[in-house]
């Protein structure tokens, strides 16, 4: 019996020691194992699981466009407040893919990313053939751009506008407004003021957006330094742009907006947006979950489009108007265009009050980006799981003396349209991502505590069995002494006869 207990004690002790060793090893080495897997799978390398996602983005992206129809164009020309009605959304399936991928010796890779858009009538509220009354963007924009030119030039343009039957507001189809229409005004303007609008062909809000690229990006691959992966080295060969009035505003910071370096602190994300002609910073809002995958949500701070008075670092983006809109004329051919959040969300209330029909809300108009962190290990892979980037295009309208077509328009920043580019990981991509970067790290995280937890009762059980196996041996030695011993001294309290039969019998049986 004692031998069996000793054998059991040894087995339990070995098992407990093994569990303790495995638990300690996982506790110490687990984060390193997960980090190695993350590094291997997020860097820009053909062997990484994210390379295919990076090259030919499998995530279904959708471009949803809302147009603002002007319901009282005649009254606006007389100085009345514009009354707007939101139309749409007009939804397009967006496909993105990279070409001209070239790896360089300095740990960077260059590429052109193209996007193709296909109209989805089943997801849209309306068709591209619908007519909508909107400002004559080209005519009114050219009028403001010519405001400071000599009067005879403006009168010449006004006469040309009359001859071409151009009016301040137009009634055109959604397709024409977005993707372009032939307008003889382009040639006329360039004839009167050469180079004022230096392009030919169709004019539309998204002309050049479809079947086009976003410029030549050169980003770090992370092969030598994972903390730089996806960070932009240059855009169109530039380390900084020259649209703005300060060095800080001209900096090309962050990534191209697709992925971010792993293991970064969840405080803010930066990316360069060619559409906005600037780098943009999003700030951490809260942790959450997307289809079982933990996420960190990043949103736009209120200072993103604040003017230089309310937020001095934005002074370089001026000349500024109210907070909540950004003047992008310097990167839009000097046209009086502004970007903002939809419905002037987070903007100065005076912008919302200058028109009727806007209802800004966080739920519908705030942009967000949900990025994956690695659960309990507090590491972030930097891969977006769910996003919706929303921007609004606005035009500054006013009466321009000498151009009678502008009537008596009260100066106003008028919303033209807003759009959302949205997408999320799903299907096989989500399953692969979940297994490699969520499930496996979580299993390793739990196993370390399971092994440590098992080691405690196993080691305690081994110790107890060891003590129990030693006790009968001691009792046997009392009954069968092998060496002479000195007889015990009797005392008054020592019994003359002691019944040892029971204990010796028990020892013998043992």
Residue 86, pLDDT above cutoff 80: yes
Residue 471, pLDDT above cutoff 80: no
Mean pLDDT for the stretch of residues 481-495: 48
CA angle (175, 176, 181) in 5-degree steps:
145
Long-range contacts of 316-323 (CB under 8 A, 24+ apart): 316/244, 316/245, 316/246, 316/247, 316/248, 316/249, 316/250, 317/244, 317/245, 317/249, 317/278, 318/245, 321/396, 321/413, 322/347, 322/348, 322/350, 322/351, 322/413, 323/347, 323/348
Per-residue confidence (pLDDT) for residue 116, from 0 to 100: 92
Mean pLDDT for the stretch of residues 229-242: 94
Counting residues of the chain whose pLDDT is more than 70, the rounded percentage is 81
Q: Which two tokens stand for residue 92?
A: 């397009």
Mean pLDDT for the stretch of residues 322-340: 91
Higher pLDDT, residue 254 or 481: 254
Per-residue confidence (pLDDT) for residue 480, from 0 to 100: 54
Give the lowest-confidence range in 149-153, 445-449, 471-475.
Answer: 471-475
CA distance 147 to 364: 37
CA distance 93 to 294: 27
CA distance 306 to 326: 8
Average pLDDT score over the chain: 83
Reported as a pLDDT band with limits 50, 70 and 90, residue 301 is: very high
In Å, how far from its chain's centre is CA 81?
37
Confidence (pTM): 0.81
Residue 477, pLDDT above cutoff 60: no
Per-residue confidence (pLDDT) for residue 493, from 0 to 100: 46
Residue 455, pLDDT above cutoff 80: no
Q: Which two tokens stand for residue 145?
A: 């751009």
CA angle (48, 373, 31) in 5-degree steps:
75
Q: Which two tokens stand for residue 44?
A: 């820009």
């Amino acid at each position: 019996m004692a031998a069996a207990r000793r054998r059991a004690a040894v087995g339990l002790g070995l098992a407990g020691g093994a569990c303790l060793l495995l638990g300690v090893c996982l506790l110490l080495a687990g984060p390193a194992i997960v980090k190695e897997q993350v590094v291997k799978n997020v860097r820009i390398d053909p062997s990484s699981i994210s390379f295919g996602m990076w090259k030919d983005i499998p995530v279904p992206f959708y471009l949803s466009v809302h147009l603002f129809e002007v319901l009282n164009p005649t009254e606006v020309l007389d100085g009345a407040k514009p009354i707007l009605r939101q139309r749409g959304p007009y939804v397009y399936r967006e496909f993105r893919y990279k070409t001209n991928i070239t790896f360089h010796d300095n740990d960077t890779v260059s590429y052109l990313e193209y996007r193709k858009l296909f109209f989805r009538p089943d997801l849209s509220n309306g068709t591209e053939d619908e007519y909508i009354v909107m400002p004559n963007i080209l005519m009114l924009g050219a009028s403001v751009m010519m405001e400071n030119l000599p009067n005879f030039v403006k009168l010449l343009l006004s006469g040309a506008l009359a001859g071409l039957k151009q009016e301040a507001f137009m009634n055109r189809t959604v397709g024409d407004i977005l993707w372009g229409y032939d307008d003889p005004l382009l040639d006329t303007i360039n004839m009167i003021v050469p180079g004022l609008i230096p392009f030919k062909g169709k004019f539309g809000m998204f002309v050049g957006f479809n079947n086009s690229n976003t410029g030549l990006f050169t980003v770090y691959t992370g092969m030598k330094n994972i903390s730089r992966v996806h960070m932009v080295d240059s855009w169109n060969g530039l380390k900084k742009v020259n649209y703005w009035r300060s060095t800080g505003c001209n900096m090309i910071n962050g990534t191209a907006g697709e992925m971010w370096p792993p293991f970064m602190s969840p405080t803010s994300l930066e990316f360069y947006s060619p559409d906005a002609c600037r780098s943009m910073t999003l700030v951490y809002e809260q942790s959450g979950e997307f289809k079982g995958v933990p996420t960190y949500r990043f949103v736009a701070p209120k200072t993103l489009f604040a003017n230089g008075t309310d937020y001095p670092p934005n002074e370089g983006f001026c000349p500024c108007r109210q907070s909540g809109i950004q003047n992008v004329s310097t990167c839009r051919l000097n046209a009086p265009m502004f970007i903002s959040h939809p419905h002037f969300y987070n903007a100065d209330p005076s912008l919302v009050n200058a028109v009727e029909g806007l209802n800004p809300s966080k739920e519908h108009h705030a942009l967000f980006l949900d990025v994956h962190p690695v659960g309990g290990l507090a590491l972030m892979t930097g891969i977006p799981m769910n996003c919706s980037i929303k921007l609004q295009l606005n035009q500054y309208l006013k009466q321009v003396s000498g151009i009678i077509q502008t009537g008596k328009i009260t100066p106003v920043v008028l919303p033209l349209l807003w759009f959302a580019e949205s997408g999320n990981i799903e299907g096989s991509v989500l399953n692969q991502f979940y297994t490699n970067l969520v499930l496996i790290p979580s299993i390793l995280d739990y196993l370390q505590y399971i092994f440590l937890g098992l080691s405690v009762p196993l080691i305690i059980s081994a110790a107890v069995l060891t003590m129990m196996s030693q006790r009968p041996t001691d009792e046997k030695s009392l009954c069968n002494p092998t060496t002479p011993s000195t007889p015990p001294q009797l005392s008054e309290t020592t019994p003359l006869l002691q019944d040892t039969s029971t204990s010796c019998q028990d020892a013998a049986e043992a």
